[in-house]
Amino acid sequence: MTIASIEAVPFRLPPRRDFKWAGLQVDLGGFVLVRVTTDSGIVGYGEATPLPDWGGDFGRHAGETLATVTAMVNEVFAPALVGTDPTQVRHARTIMDRAAIGNVYAKCAVDMALHDAWGKITGLPVYKLLGGSVRASVPVAHMVGLMGEEDALAEAEGAVADGARALQIKGGVDAERDIRLTAALRRSLGPDVLLRLDANQGYGHPKAAIRIVRRLAEAGVDLVEQPAAGLAAMAEVTAAASVPIVADESCWDIHDALDLVAMRGADCISIYLAKAGGFVGAAKVAAIAEARHIACDVNGSIESAIGNAANVHFALAMPAVTLPAVIPISAPAGTHPYRIAGRYYEDDIVDAPFPVKDGALLPLDAPGLGIAVNEAKLARFRCG
Ligand SMILES: [Mg+2]
């Protein structure tokens, strides 16, 4: 069996509300669908959720857009991969790495589509291709975007009322606001909800960041994500902090993960399939984390159902992923199980909502990514 064609299609979903974090200049909700078709007619789907202003510490990893991902897939990766075996997913990554440096969002979308096709060819869900599940479900942390304190409190309380047991609170612009909000959330939500404050590198010099993290801990935070920029600063904060520190911008791929371990740059790693260029690369990050007892979550840029299905399969199969995942609960219009928790878009390009129980996503047990992409909806949401 060979790959007959690979095609990229940009599309947009309508957001439930405005979502922002420190540094984010564009609107969420833009995606590139990648469709891999084999010579026997099997179709695999993948997705990129690129952002132009997201690129790792000191711009070491470049931002991407819907247009750049579409062009890289159609003009560079498709010609390199057409005619090869769709089930040779590691080899495909090697071919893509030879064809282009970087461009991990585009590589991720192709890698994901190949895994979906491979699963459909073998009749197995992707989590089984990854070695099988090590947990029964994936607890979800609801992301509370950068917004006024009253709005953030209302969003958080709504998500917890829906059943969420973990929250990721965006901050990093005004430390005093973050400390006040954390204390207010802890007072309102009680001791059992996991509170993770994401500063998106915003607390400056390590000594300043250490003081802020100490006060966040006193206010009741459980985890602080990316308080500073760069592994050297992150290591200083990690050494001084009483709460676990999570690396996000500082850890994209296996090379960042090796540096993080060597420098003791964080206690936890936030893994995105996209930062590592897909399942093949992200599994390497998870393996390093597992070897060093570094707890991970699966996170991303609020994917559509395609990328989110990939998130669920990955989180089910990786022993290191023990933290609640900051990922959506995907559902088409009118079917979302919750008012707020995990609800970022008003519609999605699948026909059925993802199965969920007690704020946790359940396995998608059909072959491949386990979802049916609605091509009519894709045509409606297509934007290029
Ligand atoms: Mg983050």
The 10 Å Cβ neighbour count of residue 190 is 10
Per the confidence metrics, is the pTM higher than 0.85?
yes
- Give the mean model confidence (pLDDT) for residues 220-235: 98
The CATH number of the domain holding residue 83 is: 3.30.390.10
> What was the pLDDT predicted at 281?
98
* 43 compared with 26, residue with greater pLDDT: 43
> What was the pLDDT predicted at 384?
86
Domain coverage including residue 200: 128-361
For residue 208, tell me if it sits in a domain. Answer: yes
> What was the pLDDT predicted at 74?
98
207 and 119 in a single domain? The answer is no
Residue 46 near residue 171, CB atoms below 8 Å = no
- Give the mean model confidence (pLDDT) for residues 118-122: 98
The answer to which of 27-41, 49-63, 172-186 has the lowest mean pLDDT is 49-63
> What was the pLDDT predicted at 347?
96
Beta bridge partners of 195: 167
Beta bridge partners of 268: 246, 295
For residue 369, tell me if it sits in a domain. Answer: no
> What was the pLDDT predicted at 17?
83
pLDDT of 25 higher than 90: no
237 and 281 in a single domain? The answer is yes
177 and 304 in a single domain? The answer is yes
H, E, C per residue of 246-282: EECCCCCCHHHHHHHHHHCCCCEEEECCCCCCCHHHH
Over the chain, what is the mean pLDDT? 96
For residue 157, tell me if it sits in a domain. Answer: yes
- Give the mean model confidence (pLDDT) for residues 194-201: 98
Instruction: Give residue 258 CA to ligand 1 midpoint distance, Å.
Output: 19
Instruction: Give residue 45 CA to ligand 1 midpoint distance, Å.
Output: 26
> What was the pLDDT predicted at 28?
84
Report, in angstroms and rounded to the nearest whole number, the Rg of the chain calculated over CA atoms. Answer: 20
pLDDT of 188 higher than 90: yes
For residue 368, tell me if it sits in a domain. Answer: no
104 and 153 in a single domain? The answer is no
Instruction: Give residue 80 CA to ligand 1 midpoint distance, Å.
Output: 33
In angstroms, the CA 384 to CA 8 distance is 10
For residue 285, tell me if it sits in a domain. Answer: yes
> What was the pLDDT predicted at 27?
83
> What was the pLDDT predicted at 317?
98
Structure token pair of residue 139: 């607890």
Instruction: Give residue 198 CA to ligand 1 midpoint distance, Å.
Output: 6
Instruction: Give residue 218 CA to ligand 1 midpoint distance, Å.
Output: 21
10 and 119 in a single domain? The answer is yes
* Model confidence pLDDT, tens digit, residues 291-315: 999 999 999 999 999 999 999 999 9
Instruction: Give residue 103 CA to ligand 1 midpoint distance, Å.
Output: 20
> What was the pLDDT predicted at 24?
80
The CATH number of the domain holding residue 338 is: 3.20.20.120
167 and 116 in a single domain? The answer is no
For residue 137, tell me if it sits in a domain. Answer: yes
> What was the pLDDT predicted at 364?
98
**Size (the chain), residues:** 384
For residue 26, tell me if it sits in a domain. Answer: yes
Q: Hey, CA dihedral for 89, 92, 97, 98, is it positive or negative?
A: positive
Domains: count for the chain: 2
Instruction: Give residue 272 CA to ligand 1 midpoint distance, Å.
Output: 10
174 and 245 in a single domain? The answer is yes
Instruction: Give residue 166 CA to ligand 1 midpoint distance, Å.
Output: 15
Which pLDDT band, with edges at 50, 70 and 90, does 319 fall under? very high
> What was the pLDDT predicted at 21?
81
> What was the pLDDT predicted at 279?
98
Burial (CB count <10 Å: 0-12, 13-18, 19+), residue 211: middle
Phi, psi of 92 (to 5 degrees): -60, -40
> What was the pLDDT predicted at 382?
97
229 and 352 in a single domain? The answer is yes
pLDDT of 22 higher than 90: no
- Give the mean model confidence (pLDDT) for residues 316-345: 97
Instruction: Give residue 225 CA to ligand 1 midpoint distance, Å.
Output: 6
132 and 243 in a single domain? The answer is yes
Percent of the chain with pLDDT over 90: 94
For residue 370, tell me if it sits in a domain. Answer: no
Instruction: Give residue 195 CA to ligand 1 midpoint distance, Å.
Output: 13
> What was the pLDDT predicted at 23?
80
The span from the first CA to the last CA of the chain, in angstroms, equals 31
194 and 272 in a single domain? The answer is yes
* Model confidence pLDDT, tens digit, residues 238-259: 999 999 999 999 999 999 999 9
- Give the mean model confidence (pLDDT) for residues 251-271: 98
Q: In whole angstroms, how far apart are CA 379 and each of 9, 109, 375? A: 9, 19, 6
313 and 235 in a single domain? The answer is yes
Phi, psi of 296 (to 5 degrees): -125, 160
pLDDT of 20 higher than 90: no
> What was the pLDDT predicted at 1?
95
C-alpha neighbours within 13 Å on the C-beta side of residue 44? 34
> What was the pLDDT predicted at 256?
98
> What was the pLDDT predicted at 12?
97
The answer to which of 53-67, 107-121, 306-320 has the lowest mean pLDDT is 53-67
Instruction: Give residue 193 CA to ligand 1 midpoint distance, Å.
Output: 19
